[in-house]
Amino acid sequence: MTDEIDASGALEAAGLGKKYRRGWALTDAAFRLPAGRICALVGPNGSGKSTLLSLAAGLLAPTTGTLRVFGRSAADPGIRERIAFVAQDKPLYPRFSVADTLRLGRELNPSWDQRAAERVVAEADVPLSARVGSLSGGQRTCVALALALGKRADLLLLDEPMADQDPLRRHRMMGVLMAEAAERGTGVVISTHVVAELDGVCDYLLLMGGGRIRLAGEADALQSAHRLVTGPSATGGGTPDALARHTVVETRTTGRQLTALIRPDGTPDGDGWIVTEPSLEDVLLGYLRAPDAPPLFTAEARTTFTEVEA
Amino acid sequence: MVEYRIDRRSGIATYLQIVQQTKQALRLGLLEPGDRLPTAKEVVAATAINPNTVLKAYRELEREGLVEPRPGLGTFVRRSLARPGAAADSPLRAELADWTDRARAAGLDREDLTALVASVLEERFGETAAPGERGHEENG
C-alpha cells in the first residue's frame, strides 16, 4: 500500500480482535470512521471501548486483524504525531506544575501549539502555577486535554473525558473541542456511557456491546433508519403480524399496548399503529436493552479492505 | 452580532433553531444587511454543538437568499426580514396591544388569546404550523 491514504478514513478496521488473559475484549471488529468526524463511542462498561481506543492509539497490539489509522498501521511510529490520546487514568506527573506539564508537551512535540494548550487551561480556570498533584480529577482532565490539543493532532481519542467534570466545565471543554474541530477539521472520538452527554455534538456513532461493534455510521442516518411504533400487542404474545416484515430491534408490552423499535422495510402500517421517528437516544437505549439485536452499519462505516495481516 | 441559544430538549433540530433565531433577529432588525454572522468556530465555542450543524444552518439561510458567504471573511447578511409594519413603534403593533388589553379586560387569559390568534391566522392564511416547528412526539 502507498503512503497517505487518508481517503481510507481516520480509522479503519478489519477482523480486529484483542484477547487478554481473562478472555476476548474485542472480537472481529470491522468498521470505518471517516476523517474529521465527531464520533461518539458508546457502550456499557466493559464493552470494549477502552480496548478499541488503546489499539487506535498504538498502545496495544491487536491479537487478530488490522487497524489502520489514516491508512497506516496503528503500530507505525510515524502515525503517532497525528493522533492524541487522553486515557481514562490521565497519566500526568503529579509533582510538575501545569506550566511545566505544558513545557514537557512543547519539548516532546515538534508541532506544539502553546497558545492552543494555554487556552484550554485558561478556559478551565486551572492556574498555570498549580501543581498537577493538587488538582481535582476534573482539572487534571483539562490539563490532559490541553496536552492533546497542543499537540495539533488530526485525530483526538478521548476515553470518557467528561466523566469527572462539573456541568459548566463540561460545556466549556466541549466548546473548546468543537472550536478545534471547526477550525482545523480535527476528528474526535469520545467514549462515554452517558448517551445524553453527546446529544447535538456527535455526527458519527459507534455502539459497542460485548466486545462487538453493534451500530456504526452517521448519527442522522442511523437515527432515520429506525421507527418507533406503538399498537395493539399480539394475542398470546410474540411479534404481531404487522411487524413481521420489518427488522424488530426491541419490543416492550404494557397491558394490551406494544411499543417496538424497528428498522422498517418499506412503510410500516397496520390498523391502529402509531409511527414516530425516535430520537438518537431512543435508538441507543433500544439497542442497549436488546443485546441480541442485529447490528447495523451504514455504507460510510463499512471497511473498504478485507485482507487480514495480523 | 447575534448569539444563539440552543435548547437541546426542545425537540427542534439544532440547525433549525439557528435558522429560526437568525430569522427572528432579521425580523426584529437586530441583524441588518452587511452584518457578519458569527463564525462556526465562535458559535460552537459558545454552544458546544457540532460545527457541521452551524454550517448546515448557514447553508439553509444562504439557500433562502438571506445570507452570503464571502470567502476568507465570513458569512454576511444579504437582506433583512424587518418590515416597517412590524417595528416596535408601528401603528399595527399599537392596535394589537390595544386589542390584547381589551381581551384581558373581558377575562381572557394568555392561552385563550394564543388560541384565538392562531385560529384567525389559520382562517386567513390556511396552513398552520411552519415547517420544522413541529416537536417530535413523546411516547413510551
Chain B closest-CA separation from residue A175 CA (Å):
4
Tell me: do A43 and A62 sit in the same domain.
Answer: yes
Residue carrying C-alpha cell 424488530: A248
Do A120 and A58 share a structural domain? yes
Do both A56 and A87 map to the same domain? yes
User: Are residues A260 and A120 both part of a single domain?
Assistant: no
Confirm whether A272 is domain-assigned: yes
Domain identity same for A20 and A107: yes
Phi-psi domain of A58 (left: phi exceeds 0; alpha: psi -120 through 50; beta: other): left
pLDDT tens digits, A270-300: 667 889 999 888 999 999 999 999 999 999 9
Asked if the structure places residue A192 within a domain, the reply is: yes
pLDDT for A92 beyond 80: yes
- Would you place residue A7 in the very low, low, confident or very high pLDDT band (cuts 50, 70, 90)? low
Question: In this complex, do B52 and A203 lie within 8 Å of one another by their Cβ atoms?
Answer: yes
Q: Which of A165-169, A204-208, A222-226 has the lowest mean pLDDT?
A: A165-169
Choose among B14, B48, B51: nearest Cβ to A171: B48
Asked if the Cβ–Cβ distance from A201 to B50 is below 8 Å, we say yes
Tell me whether residues B45 and A176 touch, CB distance under 8 A: yes
Q: How confident is residue A193, by pLDDT bands cut at 50, 70 and 90? A: confident
Confidence of residue B30 (pLDDT cuts 50, 70, 90): confident
Domain that holds residue A253: 222-294
**Does B50 sit within 8 Å of A178, measured CB to CB?**
yes
Residue A125 falls inside a structural domain: yes
B124 pLDDT more than 70: yes
Q: How far is CA B37 from CA B26, B32, B69, B79, in A?
A: 11, 10, 10, 13
The pLDDT score that the predictor gives to residue A2 is: 37
Q: Give a yes or no: residue A301 inside a domain.
A: no
Same domain? A134 vs A19: yes
Contacts of B46 in chain A (CB under 8 A): 175
B11 pLDDT tier (thresholds 50, 70, 90): confident
If one counts the domains in chain A, the total is 2
Same domain, A160 and A264: no
Q: Is A181 on the interface with B (CB under 8 A)?
A: yes
Nearest by CB to A174, from B40, B48, B136: name it.
B48
pLDDT band at A10 (very low <50, low <70, confident <90, very high): very high
Domain co-membership, A171 together with A116? yes
Q: Is residue A289, in this structure, part of any structural domain at all?
A: yes
CB < 8 Å to A199, chain B: 8
Cβ A228–B139 below 8 Å, yes or no? yes
Ordered by where they begin, the domains of chain B are 14-77 (1.10.10.10), 90-139 (no CATH)
The whole-number pLDDT of residue B134 equals 41
Give the predicted TM-score (pTM) of the model.
0.83
A228 interface with B at CB cutoff 8 Å: yes
Do A8 and A154 fall within a single domain?
yes
pLDDT at A254: 85
Q: Give the end of a domain, one of A220, A240, A267.
A: A220
CATH assignment at residue A83: 3.40.50.300
pLDDT of residue B41: 93
